[in-house]
Amino acid sequence: MSERTLVKNLAALEDGPVSVSGWVETVRDQKKVQFVVLRDESGAVQLVNPAVRELVEDDPESAAKLATTEAISALAHGSFLTVTGSLKHDERVKLGGLEVKIGSLEVVSESLPETPIAADSSLDKRLDWRFLDLRNPKQNLIFRVQTTIEHAFRQYWIDNDFIEIHTPKLMASASESRAELFEVGYFDTTAYLAQSPQFFKQMAQPAGFGKVFEIGPAFRADPSFTSRHATEFTSVDAEISWIDSHEDVMALHEELLVAAFTAVKEKHGEALKEHFDLDVVVPSRPFPRIPLAEAKRIVAERGYEIPRADDDMDPEGERRIAAYVKEEFGHDFVFLTDYASSIRPFYHMRHEGDAALTNSYDLIYSGVEISTGAQREHRVDVLIEQAREKGLEPEELEFYLDFFRYGVPPHGGFGMGLARVLMLLLGEQSIRETTYLFRGPTRLLP
């Protein structure tokens, strides 16, 4: 078997024998010559074949040439091929300045002739046929960028002596509240799908791990159909010991994102410009910080009264404060800090001297919340009281509360939605575009 060469590596080779494999993107079947654009996971190349339409006398190879010509004429879009032939560099070829003259062609897997989706198909239709949708080089690039982001996160964490953990997704009780929980039958009892790794990454603090991270699935039984919600998503989590306040968590968060954006710019800058018309901007540090009360005042002064009665910022308010930050600071990120304890989980530490506020933040990126972070409450008596205030029964949280009964350092961390970061970085309109296989209230397939 000839050794396969990825399309992206052809340009570095000298003219001569080569073998390529991929799927058919287009076929131009002309009378005297045939052209096939073959695409693989790395790029596209033009294949050329001098057409032989009938047997030629005194040419013992004409039967093979005729068979190749007929095979190309019958090719359907999407069929997978292996082609051996001769590579030739030619500046006149618009696609990459090179082409492969077909010597032999093997149809490895035929495609049905009618493709069920087109470039102008609706997003829902494309998601129905996601494996075909992902053949688009723009879609391919999304997940290459995702890979680079996750690698940069991990490199930062490893360079800074973090430990990677993998927490269970089956829970005996609620991890944050009883809302938005998926119940699943678990032998003769009920389990819940984890909304976050919150309890277990906190468990690593009294365990003496110091600094931990996880990239893993999380589940929210939220019947929302917005462009930024999903019932299953990938959560990026970190937790660190020996902090003084949520400011230490924000500093970590900044450094992590700067590392990721720098890696994306260096590795994919040209491709993102080509496919997304996007110039990656690496955010400067420190990110702007605005207490929530001040952010709401700024938004109100700019003509928008937040209608919510729960002390939170609504999506329109997030867009308005992001616009203000862009105008005033030229920055795409802003930390909204000091959220009211009434809208934060029981385990968020409250301000010393003002129990109405928490040492917490939301990180807004281009007008959309991508993360929540906080200093955690590590005093068990305070945790019990705050859990009761939230309507939780401490008896159901005994396994969690035990973490704090045998010594625990001050700690904090954050959880961040990976698909949201990708969506905003790439300027996409929905996390459905930046999730490999999306799950929502009405989608469990494919």
- Binding site residues, as ranges? 176, 220, 369, 372, 376, 417-420
DSSP string, 148-179: HHHHHHHHHHHHTT-EE----SEESS-SS-ST
CB-based contact 368:420 (threshold 8 Å): yes
> How far is C-alpha 346 from the chain's CA centre?
29
Among 411, 420, 335, which residue's Cα sits nearest to residue 372?
Answer: 335
Q: What is the DSSP letter of 31?
A: S
H, E, C per residue of 218-275: EECCCCCCCCCCCCEEEEEEEEEECCCCHHHHHHHHHHHHHHHHHHHHHHHHHHHHHH
CB-based contact 47:36 (threshold 8 Å): yes
CA distance 269 to 251: 26
What is the chain's alpha carbon radius of gyration, rounded to the nearest angstrom?
Answer: 28
User: Phi and psi of 171, rounded to 5°?
Assistant: -120, 145
CA distance 144 to 413: 27
CA distance 414 to 397: 21
Which residues participate in the annotated binding site for L-aspartate?
A: 176, 220, 372, 376
Which residues participate in the annotated binding site for ATP?
A: 369, 417-420
Instruction: Give exposure, 139-154, as e/b (b: 16+ Cβ within 10 Å).
Output: bbbbebbbebbbebbe
DSSP string, 287-315: PPEEEHHHHHHHHHHTT-----SSSPPPH
Q: Write the CA distances from 357 to 311, 339, 361, 428, integer angstroms.
A: 11, 6, 11, 34
246-276 and 418-426 are packed helices; what angle lies between their axes, rounded to 10 degrees?
Answer: 50
| Helix (H) or strand (E) segment spanning residue 355 | strand 354-358
